[in-house]
Structure formats: C-alpha cells, structure tokens
Amino acid sequence: MASSEIEALTQALARLPGLGPRSARRAVLHLMKKRETALDPLLRALSAVSERLATCHVCGNVDTTDPCAICADPRRDGRALCVVEEVADLWALDRARLFPGRFHVLGGRLSALEGVRPEDLRIDALVARVADGGVDEVVLAMNATLEGQTTAHYIAERLERFPVRLTQLAHGLPVGGELDYLDEGTLAQALRARRPVA
C-alpha cells in the first residue's frame, strides 16, 4: 500500500549495512514524521557528499576533496606511510587518531581464491610513492588473515630495495580478526608495539 516513492526509499535504506527491511521501514517512518529534524538534514548531507564525492588520487581514500583531507593536511608526517587494505581500515585508524602519518589504501588483498592479483590493487602506486622519496617508514597494517599477511609479504618484497623501514602491526590482533572491527585500545596497542618485518 506504500507509494512507490516510499517503497524505493525503504529499499535503498534496507541495503545499507546494519539495516534490514524492518529497521528501514522504521527509519522511513521516522524521516517522514520528522521532516525538519530528520529528513531535510539527511537529504542536505547526502546531496553535499554526492556533489563532492571523490577518490583521493594520492592515497585511495574516499572524501569530499581530492587530495583527501589527510593527504592535504600539512601537519601530517609524510615520512610515515600506513598501508591498509580498505578505506574502512583507514577510517578506523584515523578515527582513533592513532597514526600521525599518511595512508595508502590498496583496495583489497591478494587472493588466489578470488583471483585478486597484485595489478588489481594499488601496489604500483604505493611503490611509486616510496620511490619518489621522503618516506622513512612504511607500516603494513593488513588484516591478521592469511590473505592479509600474504599481501604484506608481497609488498615487503616489492619495497625491499628502498631505504625505508618496514613495520607491521604487532600480532596482538586476534587471529582472523578484521582491523575495522577492533576496539581502539587493541588497535592502539598493536600500533605501539609494531615491529620490523622479519
């Protein structure tokens, strides 16, 4: 009985992570009942992000500017580069204000099973950033999964010939754990105890 517009909105919300059909319906109802305080602010915010949405050509972050706010921030220490699999991982580390350097997003991890090869990730771009100089340390902040660690080893090999210190997150990470799901305390500890790649 709901109009096609309401149905479309419900479905669009239901596809967001963390929302199902039931909570989407409640959200739509909330939006329609609270036009000034809920619907209009969400519409404005969504429009603003949509208009400015950009992928940073330097680090692969998504933001409303290119370069992203992190790459453009002069207070960031460009000599330290933290390499992560996904944008979500960058956000998790940045949210906790744990890392004062810059980031590099690979856009995934090597996977024989899923057919993800080095050229499918932003690895050449990482090597180019390091080759350009000015980088002293590269933190390999992959997930503590088999594929994450394989990716870290592959990158370590590719960066071997450069005069940079390669480190990785301390393995206080739970085995099989996804970086993005960890609490800030665990992340902070793992980062503090980072060690050279063997």
Minimum separation from the CB atom of position 162 to its own copies (A): 27
Q: Which stretch binds its own copies (CB under 8 A): 9-17, 114-122, 128-136, 139-147?
A: 9-17
Minimum gap (Å) between residue 63 Cβ and Zn ion: 7
Nearer to its own copies, 105 or 142 (CB): 105
The answer to the question of residue 68 lying near Zn ion (CB under 5 A) is yes
Phi/psi of residue 116, nearest 5 degrees: -95, 115
| Residues within window 69-128 making contact with Zn ion, judged by CB under 5 A | 71
Nearer to its own copies, 3 or 134 (CB): 3
Closest CB to its own copies among residues 45, 128: 45
Mapping DSSP onto H, E and C, the string for the chain reads CCCHHHHHHHHHHHCCCCCCHHHHHHHHHHHHHCHHHHHHHHHHHHHHHHHHCEECCCCCCEECCCCCHHHHCCCCEEEEEEEECCHHHHHHHHHCCCCCEEEEECCCCCECCCCECHHHCCHHHHHHHHHCCCCCEEEECCCCCHHHHHHHHHHHHHHCCCCCEEEECCCCCCCCCCHHHCCHHHHHHHHHCCEECC
Among 80, 88, 116, 172, the residue binding its own copies under the rule CB under 8 A is 88
Instruction: Choose the contact partner of 2 out of its own copies, Zn ion, none; CB within 5 to 8 A by kind.
Output: its own copies
Piece in contact with Zn ion (CB under 5 A), picked from 35-43, 55-63, 122-130, 155-163: 55-63
Kindly report the number of other CB atoms within 10 A of residue 191's CB atom: 19
CB nearer to its own copies: pick between 13 and 197: 13
CA distance 151 to 126: 13
Interacting residues with Zn ion (CB under 5 A): 56, 58-59, 61, 67-68, 71
Interacting residues with its own copies (CB under 8 A): 1-3, 5-6, 8-9, 11-13, 15-19, 23, 25-33, 35, 38-50, 52-53, 62-65, 69-70, 73, 87-88, 91, 94-95, 97
